[in-house]
């Protein structure tokens, strides 16, 4: 997350970025739906904006936390090796931030599906959420359950993809499971 990098790498960046992010964090994304509907109307733009706002916070918080918890000995080692700033970012900062980024991404996938379900039920003319809402109106419990199962399987699949990316990206890292 670029915002977490800006905020995590400098005090000025944190002063500029962190405040607005914390304000956004205090406002539930789903509470913004009426405003987003007024601004974007019914359609994909509103869905994408809602989902983007929902996933911003978990990725930012986890990545920022990982950046702030990089061991200062690595920073000292980079200085001793006279690493340039770009090399320092590439060799120390990004590898140190990846575990938190992936944790945030896994949470973000959940928030993305949650947001999609809600916006498809309140502001859509198609989609699984729309189908579930129509089925609810007609008392078709079986279709509601099928829709929920589809969401569950899609969510599980997305989490599996993120975990696979995490395992491949962090293959160099030793964990307790190894």
> How far is 11 from 18, CA to CA, in rounded Å?
10
CATH code of domain 2-169: 1.10.3720.10
Q: Do 6 and 27 form a contact (C-beta atoms < 8 A)?
A: no
**Residue 56: what pLDDT?**
96
Q: Do 154 and 110 form a contact (C-beta atoms < 8 A)?
A: no
Tokens of 78: 């980079």
Domain ranges of the chain: 2-169
Q: For residue 53, name the pLDDT band (cuts at 50, 70, 90).
A: very high
Q: What is the dihedral of CA 141, 143, 149, 154, to 10 degrees?
A: -150
Q: What is the pLDDT of residues 79-124, one digit of tens each?
A: 999 999 899 988 898 888 999 999 999 999 999 999 998 998 887 7
């Amino acid at each position: 997350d670029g915002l977490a990098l800006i905020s995590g790498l400098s005090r000025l960046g944190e002063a500029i970025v962190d405040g607005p992010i914390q304000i956004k964090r205090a406002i539930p994304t789903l509470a913004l739906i009426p405003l987003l509907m007024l601004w974007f109307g019914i359609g994909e733009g509103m869905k994408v904006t809602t989902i983007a706002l929902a996933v911003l916070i978990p990725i930012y918080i986890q990545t920022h936390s990982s950046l702030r918890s990089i061991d200062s000995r690595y920073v000292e080692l980079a200085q001793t090796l006279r690493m340039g700033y770009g090399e320092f970012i590439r060799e120390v900062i990004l590898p140190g931030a990846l575990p938190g980024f992936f944790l945030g991404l896994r949470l973000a996938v959940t928030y993305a599906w949650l947001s999609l379900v809600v916006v498809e039920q309140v502001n859509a003319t198609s989609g699984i959420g729309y189908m579930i809402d129509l089925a609810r109106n007609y008392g078709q419990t079986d279709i509601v359950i099928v829709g929920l199962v589809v969401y569950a399987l899609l969510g599980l699949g997305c989490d599996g993809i993120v975990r696979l990316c995490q395992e491949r990206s962090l293959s160099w890292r030793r964990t307790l499971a190894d």
